[in-house]
A = this chain, B = another copy of it.
């Protein structure tokens, strides 16, 4: 993981960073894989005594707990919904299947190191990134997202709904199955004027990072797909002046107009598909013989990736926003 362009002289709180990384790390509870990974980054450059020195910041995490045997044979009988087949087509027999290689959710760990650092640098400028689980399967948390859920073991706003979500995950797990969900994110304290038109817009900048997180299949800003059903007169956010500042009375646009922030919270939601690696029997094919084959995936997999995806989404948002801030002249 290498971050370029960080200003020199910024001190990084390593303890806070580790706390952030622990939110993503697996093996902490009953809804995530029992694989235990330390996720302790080792910084190779860019820091002098926890202070950025202007050089590119590079950190690595070693993968200490891979049971390669778990992944034998996946290049011959690919898991449905996973990248086994497409990686095999692209890279031939050379793809790295141990632990999922470049397609593994584990690769969100370096994203979280980079994002965790950006989150700290944003906070110094009064910008906060908060997020929560908005839904698991068909269970939705409809209370508004206004405060951080970072301290909660299960990051929802409404803990009662959270209990129902956990039951949904437990039910899927009991059946050897998995379940998806939605993560909602808000960036608070952003100045107006960040981003730009066309391919420079905040929507494109954020989505190109968020789609780098495995299992994301959709993203929407503000009310997103919901805007489709509204009339323009309902969807447009009226301008008002509050304490000498221009605000909008609603925030259907998610704080972005014409690709540029308007000073309201920047909000978006990302859809995560259910984890493709499930214990249930599935229909696949043997790529050597081109005959059907029933697959039962071994290995230790999350019945639901969504809780651990919450800090990944915060990291992605922080990277995109901090990059846009740095690029301003």
| A→B interface (CB under 8 Å) | 2, 5, 7-9, 44-45, 48, 51-56, 58, 60, 78-83, 85-87, 89-96, 98, 101-103, 107, 135, 137-138, 172, 175, 177-182, 192-193, 195-199, 201, 203-205, 207-209, 211-212, 214, 216-225, 227-241, 244, 246, 248-249, 252-254, 256-263, 271-278, 280, 282-285, 287, 290-292, 326, 328-329
Contact = CB atoms under 8 A, between A and B. Distances in A.
A244 B290 CA distance: 7
A172 B230 CA distance: 10
A199 B193 contact: no
Contacts of A58: 60
A90 B193 contact: yes
B89 A260 contact: yes
Nearest to A4: B200
Given A83-B260, A95-B54, A232-B81, A218 B224 contact: yes
A217 B220 contact: yes
Contacts of A2: 2
A6 to B, nearest CB: 9
Contact of A204 (B51, B212, B260): B212
Nearest to A277: B232
A324 to B, nearest CB: 11
